[in-house]
């Protein structure tokens, strides 16, 4: 297991049992290929979940050799058509340095700012989902009413800077990125959700899926008009620290990834 990756309580003590293994790499090119494959399949996963919204939606991951460059999905290509071969490599100025497609300027401005302001962020996910946009309109953090929501307890940012605006200027993107800080997710008021993975693309994708689900659950619970019983702070922190680590997010994503590979192997081309 990689240094800094916490062992999970779910790992079996018997070492001869089949269990997902944290990846290791023999070369930078091998690690780059791995990141690109995870990014492409994450796009397919988001498509399957119905997170497409026209050309909106951006996934990024740093290049392992050139940390100021990041791979992202091509502009105006549906998530369901993204594959390793049509990903593009972009610098912090929005210049495509490898690939055939253009980059979405709004996506570039926010994602490059997030990566530049937070060097520990390896990957980031943003999509215009129904649940995420509806919750973001409230400008509120998620409450700890489920184990899923507890994963973001004290680990989410509500960003009001540039709320509702189409961010195309670098200075505006910097304001949003600085407000993101060290959180797992950011709820950008009147816009939607962003997630950050600090150890893997898998982590960033899982945080986004989990956050969107938490938004849906809280809105449904509140729509009943009945009293909602929040989890107490001690239990919420315990759940967050044990069930919502970067490794656990990676682990959650493995069956989703395998299903996507089996369903859409062309994404790896």
Per-domain boundaries in the chain: 28-263
Q: What are phi and psi of 58, to 5 degrees?
A: -140, 135
Instruction: Quote the pLDDT of residue 230.
Output: 97
Collect all residues with Cβ–Cβ distance below 8 Å to 117 and sequence separation of at least 6.
174, 177, 178, 180
pLDDT of residue 1: 37
Query: Quick one: pLDDT at residue 8?
Result: 63
Q: What is the pLDDT of residue 110?
A: 77
Q: Which fold has domain 28-263?
A: L-fuculose-1-phosphate Aldolase (3.40.225)
Question: Beta-strand (E) ranges in the chain?
Answer: 58-62, 69-72, 88-91, 96-98, 123-127, 156-159, 185-188, 192-197
| pLDDT, position 113 | 82
What pLDDT score does 12 carry? 67
Q: What string of pLDDT tens digits covers the 269 residues of the chain?
A: 344 555 566 776 667 888 899 999 999 999 999 999 999 999 999 999 999 999 999 999 999 999 999 999 999 999 999 999 999 999 988 899 999 999 987 667 777 788 888 899 999 999 999 999 999 999 999 999 999 999 999 999 998 876 666 655 666 677 777 878 889 999 999 999 999 999 999 999 999 999 999 999 999 999 999 999 999 999 999 999 999 999 999 999 999 999 999 999 999 99
pLDDT value of position 46: 98
pLDDT at residue 105 in the model: 75
Q: What is the pTM of this model?
A: 0.93
């Amino acid at each position: 297991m990689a240094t800094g990756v916490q062992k999970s309580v779910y790992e079996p003590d018997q070492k001869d049992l089949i269990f997902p293994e944290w990846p290791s790499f023999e070369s930078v090119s091998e690690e780059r290929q791995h990141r690109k494959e995870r990014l492409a399949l994450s796009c397919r996963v988001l498509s399957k979940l119905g997170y497409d919204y026209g050309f909106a939606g951006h996934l990024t991951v740093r290049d392992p050799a050139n940390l100021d460059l990041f791979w992202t999905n091509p502009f105006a290509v549906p998530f369901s058509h993204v594959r390793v071969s049509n990903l593009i490599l972009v610098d912090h100025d929005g210049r495509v340095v490898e690939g055939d497609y253009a980059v979405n300027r709004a996506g570039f401005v926010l994602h490059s700012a997030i990566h530049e302001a937070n060097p520990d962020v390896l990957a980031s996910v943003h999509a215009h989902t129904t649940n995420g946009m509806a919750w973001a309109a409230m400008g509120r953090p998620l409450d700890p009413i489920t184990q899923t929501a507890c994963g973001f307890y004290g680990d989410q940012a509500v960003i009001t800077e540039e709320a509702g605006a189409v961010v195309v200027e670098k200075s505006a993107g910097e304001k949003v990125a600085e407000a993101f800080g060290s959180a797992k997710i950011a709820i950008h008021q009147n816009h939607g959700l962003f997630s950050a993975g600090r150890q893997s693309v898998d982590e960033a994708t899982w945080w986004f899926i989990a956050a969107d689900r938490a938004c849906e659950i809280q809105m449904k619970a509140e729509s009943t008009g009945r009293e909602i019983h929040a989890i107490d702070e001690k239990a919420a922190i315990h759940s967050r620290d044990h069930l919502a680590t970067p490794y656990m997010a990676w682990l959650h994503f493995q069956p989703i990834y395998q299903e996507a590979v089996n369903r859409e192997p062309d994404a790896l081309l």
